[in-house]
A and B are shown apart, each in its own frame.
Chain A
């Protein structure tokens, strides 16, 4: 399983765009990149998944450069309710084992 490295914490203000970068230098050819969001005392919630280039949904965008050794989760115009821990995960589509790591704690201030 590819190891991921994320900042431990980030601060932002309401209305700003937030970009959280994840490093995964030893990502394998078949690995996908997935991001989850977790609020205190709740289970994680799937945000977005991608393999290469750019993926966008109603919540976020995921940017993956050509070498795939990093990825950036972009949250447009954050609000206080986006305060949460964000996890970057990397792994193959058919596997059962998954490593969440410690995630990035995002604090959005008014």
Chain B
């Protein structure tokens, strides 16, 4: 089954403790992206990757890092999480770009205490 998977689905952590949210797709997609969703603010793009080893900032990249060493994986790294990073995070992929049909993962709900 074609899908985007994220792990973990739920995470409670404390301020400053580094964490990684994994994202993997099995559709051989070139493009991958991370979004965060907060009440009243809609979906905002954090980082995206047009291809392996190519990443770029979205609208809200501060406090996040990403890497794209393999086509299928696009982990989101929070080096020193803060409470304002408490949010619902979605990973997505598409064949070549943001404008093509994006397939979203199930989401990761993060709480930073």
**Chains A and B are bound partners:** yes
A98 engages B88 (CB within 8 Å): no
Q: Are A93 and B97 in contact (CB under 8 A)?
A: yes
CB <8 Å contact, B43 and A87 = yes
B residues within 8 A CB of A93?
97, 99-100
Q: Which A residue sits closest to B97, measured CB to CB?
A: A94
Q: Does A110 contact B (CB under 8 A)?
A: no
Chain A residues with Cβ below 8 Å from B98 are: 91, 95-98
Contact of A43 among B56, B99, B105 (CB under 8 A): B105
Complex Cα gap A79–B27 (Å): 31
Cα of A45 to Cα of B43 in the assembled complex, Å: 13
Q: Is A46 among interface residues, defined by CB-CB distance under 8 A?
A: yes
CB within 8 A of A97: which of B42, B59, B100? B59
A73–chain B nearest beta-carbon distance, Å = 16
Measured as residues with beta carbon below 8 angstroms from the partner, the interface class of chain B is 20 to 34
Interface residues on A, range: 20 to 34
Q: Contact between A97 and B58 (Cβ–Cβ < 8 Å)?
A: yes
Question: Could you tell me the dominant secondary structure of chain A's interface residues?
Answer: loop
Tell me which residues across on chain A come within 8 A of B88, comparing CB atoms. 41
Convert B94-113 into 0s and 1s, putting 1 for each residue whose CB lies closer than 8 angstroms to a CB of A.
00111111111111010000
Given A43-B104, A43-B105, A92-B99, 17 additional A-B pairs, CB 8 A: A34-B99, A38-B43, A42-B104, A43-B4, A43-B92, A44-B90, A49-B99, A87-B43, A93-B100, A96-B98, A97-B59, A98-B99, A100-B35, A100-B43, A100-B44, A102-B42, A103-B42
Q: Which residues of A contact B (CB under 8 A)?
A: 32, 34, 36, 38, 41-46, 49, 87, 91-103
Q: Which residues of B contact A (CB under 8 A)?
A: 4, 31, 33, 35, 40-45, 48-50, 56, 58-59, 88, 90, 92, 96-107, 109
